[in-house]
Chains A and B, each alone.
Chain A
Amino acid sequence: MSSSNLTETLCIVGAWLVTFGAVGAYGASVILRGRRLSKIVPPEQRRWM
């Protein structure tokens, strides 16, 4: 594999990993934060529907 092809492959894989990694990590942090806060807040104040 030539140097330019290697760079291209690394950049493509990197772009997908960055996108899924960043959005996935943020989503997980929001979910965990919600679960942690749910233990503090009384049930009657955390009804969504």
Chain B
Amino acid sequence: MTTTKTQSASNLSPAPTGTGSRGTRVLGGFALVFLVIAVAYGLFISPADAQLGNTIRIIYMHVPTVMAAYMAFIITAVSSGMYLWKRTEFWDLLGSSGAEIGVLFFAVTIVDGALWGKVTWGVFWRWEPRLTTSAVLLIMYIGYLAVRAIPADPRTRATRCAIIGIVAIVNVPIVHKAVDWWRGLHQGKTVLGTIDPEMGGTQLFAMYSALIAGLLVCVWLLIHRFRAGFLAERASDLGLDQALEERRLESSPATGEDA
């Protein structure tokens, strides 16, 4: 028995020294390849658009970041629902990881959009329907992260966040359909709601390369963020165990004296 245990222990590969694994390295490699293609085509090879001119190069960043943000918010909503059903740490961590990454990508989307607006409209911001609903969406998910930062029992915190994660997703289709429902400055919905059907050749290639790169980076970040969150929970448990042990040792001599 001892020999078998020793053999199985020696067969285990060394524990990773971070959140990386073979899978994340492969995924990161693919993301990097698509990023290089996106930079080459988006900034240098693809021509200026007939209508948008060179500002189409901002759209090559604007569209992938918003799609990545939507994907992250959908993951948060699904995870939130699963948490309320299963009540496991996995779904709570996945939901919070998705919310954090979604906020990052959506904030970048808004900044990129503002820069595009400065060139096209002459101003960074207008309180028109798409932009206003986008601002509300961002604030809702910042609220999710704020609630998560409030000190509370982990189960209570997870339940509160799961409810917000489900409520907040309702705003995503509202943002997406805002250009159809209300008249505003933002350009209308196109292919998949984002990509211009008149786009072709190298422009389309640049757009899809950037889109694939954005989604791969989003998944790569999500895995790393999930694992970092998992490690933070384990470190927190260890801290709690250590505090309980110290408390037990403090009380032991007193008990001995009493006896």
Binding site for B on A (CB under 8 A): 7-9, 11-12, 14-16, 18-19, 22-23, 26-27, 30-31, 33-35, 37-38, 40-49
- The residue of chain B having its C-beta at the shortest distance from the C-beta of A43 within the complex is B15
Query: Are A23 and B238 touching (Cβ within 8 A)?
Result: no
Q: Which label, helix, strand, loop or mixed, suits the secondary structure of the A interface?
A: helix
Is A34 touching B228 in the complex (CB atoms < 8 A)?
Answer: yes
A-binding segment of B76-84, B103-111, B167-175? B103-111
**Given A19-B65, A48-B16, is A11 in contact with B104 using a C-beta cutoff of 8 Å?**
no
Q: Are the CB atoms of A44 and B115 closer together than 8 Å?
A: no
**Cα distance A15–B118 in the bound complex, in angstroms:** 11
Task: Give the interface size bracket for B toward A.
Answer: 35 or more
- Whether B130 sits at the interface, judged by CB under 8 Å, is no
Binds A, one of B19-27, B142-150, B158-166, B247-255: B19-27
Residues in A with CB closer than 8 Å to B240 are: none
Give chain B residues whose Cβ lies under 8 Å from the Cβ of A48. Answer: 16, 19, 21, 23, 227
Closest to B42 in A: A16
- If A11-B115, A35-B18 touch, does A46 touch B58 (CB 8 Å cutoff)? no
- List chain A residues, Cβ under 8 A from B116: 11, 15
- Given contacts A11-B116, A30-B221, are A23 and B108 in contact (CB under 8 A)? yes
CB within 8 Å: A-B pair count:
114
Are the C-beta atoms of A34 and B235 separated by less than 8 Å? Answer: no
In the complex, which residue of chain A has the Cβ closest to the Cβ of B22?
A49
* Chain B residues with CB below 8 A from A47, complex form: 15-16
Stretch at the interface among B49-57, B176-184, B187-195: B49-57
Contacts of A43 on B, CB cut-off 8 Å?
Answer: 14-15
Q: Are A37 and B108 in contact (CB under 8 A)?
A: no
Q: Which partner residue on chain B sits nearest A18 by CB separation? A: B111
Instruction: Supply 24 A–B pairs (Cβ within 8 Å), ascending by A.
Output: A11-B58, A11-B118, A11-B119, A12-B55, A12-B58, A16-B42, A16-B57, A19-B61, A22-B107, A23-B105, A23-B108, A30-B221, A30-B224, A31-B18, A33-B228, A34-B231, A38-B15, A38-B231, A40-B235, A46-B16, A47-B15, A47-B16, A48-B227, A49-B23
